[in-house]
Structure 1
C-alpha cells in the first residue's frame, strides 16, 4: 500500500499553475530564481514562496552560491506520483484483462453464425 502523504503534497503543489510552469521550466535544466521569475507576472517574493513549497514537497532543490539561488528539478521527487499513477494503471489494466477474458469466454460459448 502506498503512503499517501507525499502523493497528496505533490498533487497540492502541482495543482497551482505557476508551480507547474516552474516545474516545466526546470525540466529543461537548472535556473536561477530570477530566471524563473522573468516570464511570470508575479513578484519575485511570490516566486520564492512557490519555490519554497516545491522544495518542501521534494520536487525541487535549491542551492545558493554567492548571491544567486539556483533551482533544479528533483526527478526522484516525482516517484511518489509515478508510483501512484502506475498502481492505478495496473488496477485498470487488470480489470480490462478480466473483461476481455469474459468476453472471449462468452464468444467461445456462442454457436457459430453462418452467413
Structure 2
C-alpha cells in the first residue's frame, strides 16, 4: 500500500494553492479582456444599443461648433459641431472595421443627439 509522506503532501498542497492562484489571475485577465478599455483622453463614451444582448461601447471624438467671424482681413466661415467614431467595442473587441458606413453614421448621430440633450 502506498502512503505519501508529509513532504509529498505539503508539496501537493503548495502546488494546488499555486494553481488556484494562477487560475484566479487568469480569470481576472479574461474579465478585463471581456470589456472595453478605458476611454482615451479627449474622447467620450457612448453605449449603442442594438438588437443584440450586449451594448456596443463606443469611443467618440467631439468638436464643438465655431461661430463665423465675418470681420477682418480673413473672414472665418465657422463650422458646425462634429463627431467622429474612434472605436466600437463589443465585449472588449473593437468591431469598428466590421461596421458599415450606415451603422457608423447612426452611432455618430445618436451620440451627437444624446450629447446635445445633456
Q: TM-score, normalised by structure 2?
A: 0.29
Greater strand share, structure number: 2
Higher relative contact order (CA 8 A, sep 6+): 1
